[in-house]
Structure 1
Amino acid sequence: MRLYFKQRFFSWLDSYDIFDENGNTVFTVEGQLSWGHKLAIYNAGGEEVGMVKEVVLTFLPRFELYINGELAGTLSKELSFFRPRYNIDFNGWHVEGDFFEWDYQIEDEQGNQVASISKDLWHMTDHYVIEVNQSGDALDALMVVLAIDAEKCSRQ
């Protein structure tokens, strides 16, 4: 399954649209006022299905991931040099990026690729392509992209 992640151009808070290969909206993301990033994820029917909340005042960046209002777990950045690395504590996924922080691979506990994320550089706003092997992993992969993008935004 391929998803196209597009940040909206004019928005005071973070807001994104996520489309499938046919151009249908699969998810929308709306930023909310908060201390740190707080991003609510809505399905095509407008129902909130997830949320990414930045945990502030931590040594390394950490984000809480909520699915249907329940805390599923956290995504935490690891201390690393040259290549960003993240761990997700509720599904055993590990995320590693390239030197330029444009492309990322998500792997499960056995080292199998779950998804790949590529940044599309030729746009005024953030655009990513998310390749997910199983459609059931789409929401989790989207939350990973949102957390990584928020973490990069906080550094700038």
Structure 2
Amino acid sequence: MKLLIKQRVFSWTDSYDIYDEDGNAKYFVKAEMFAFGHQLHVYDSNRNEIGMIKQKLLTFLPAFEIEIGGMTRGRIQKQLALLRPKYEIDFNGWRVEGDFLGWNYDVYAGGRPVIHISKELFHWGDTYVIDFDDPADEVMGMMLVIAIDAANCEQK
């Protein structure tokens, strides 16, 4: 199964539209900006909020908490690195490996790959494909990709 995440280019805030593999709108993300950070609210196609990605303040490098269903599920923080982005991830017991700079990476639960994420090039705005086998990983995988993108954008 796949999800396609497309960033809205002509938007004042970070906004994304998320489609299933048949091109049907499934989720959307709308940002809420604050003086010292922002929050990304994730909604299903019926406009029900399913989660939020909140920037943690007073951190040296960008850090975000991931909430799903009103419960904090984990955190991602960008780390100092010379050649390519590096992250500390405490989310769903997952481990992430790959080429973060090229946005091609895999998510593992234990030693088993659960999600493959790739960035599509030559699009207006960021476009990502999330490939997963278990439908239970859909929302968590989507939230992880959005949090990593937010951490990258925060440093630009």
TM-score, normalised to structure 1, is 0.89
Partner of 1:32: 32
Q: 2:87 aligns to what?
A: 86
Residue 83 (structure 1) shift: 4.5
Aligned length: 155
- Is the strand fraction higher in 1 or 2? 2
For residue 69 of structure 1, report the CA deviation from its aligned partner. Answer: 1.8
What's the counterpart of residue 58 of structure 1?
59
Q: 1:78 to 1:112 in 2, by over 3 A?
A: farther
Any conservation in 1 of the 2:2–2:20 contact (CA below 8 Å)? yes
Give the drift of 1:31: 0.6
Q: Which runs of structure 2 are paired with 1:1-156 in the superposition (5 Å)?
A: 1-34=1-34, 35-98=36-99, 100-108=101-109, 110-156=110-156
Q: Which residue identity lines up with residue 122 of structure 1 in the other structure?
A: F
Quick one: structure 1 residues 9 and 90, their matched pair in 2 at CA, closer, same or farther if it must change by over 3 Å? closer
Q: Aligned AA for 2:148?
A: I
Amino acid at match of 1:74: R
Structure 2, unpaired ranges of 5+: none
1:99 is displaced (CA, Å) by 5.8
Q: Is the 8 A contact 2:103 2:118 kept in 1?
A: yes
Q: Distance in 2 between matches of 1:92 and 1:60?
A: 22
Query: TM-score normalized by structure 2?
Result: 0.89
Matches of 1:85 and 1:103, distance apart in 2: 13
What do residues 38-88 of structure 1 show as CA deviations (whole Å, max 9, x unaligned)?
A: 100001111000000111221343211111122222123345554444344
Amino acid at match of 1:22: D
C-alpha distance 76-100 of structure 1, shift in aligned 2 (>3 A): closer
Q: Following the alignment from structure 2 to structure 1, what is the Cα–Cα distance between the partners of residues 115 and 67?
A: 19
SS at match of 2:27: strand
**Distance between the aligned counterparts of 1:5 and 1:134, measured in 2?**
18
Contact in 2 for aligned 1:55/1:62 (Cα 8 Å): yes
Identity across the alignment (%): 47
Contact 1:13 1:30 in 2 (8 A): yes
Describe the shift of the 1:73–1:102 C-alpha distance in structure 2 as closer, same or farther (beyond 3 A): closer
1:37 aligns to what SS in structure 2? Answer: strand
SS at match of 2:23: coil
Deviates more, 1:41-50 or 1:55-64: 55-64
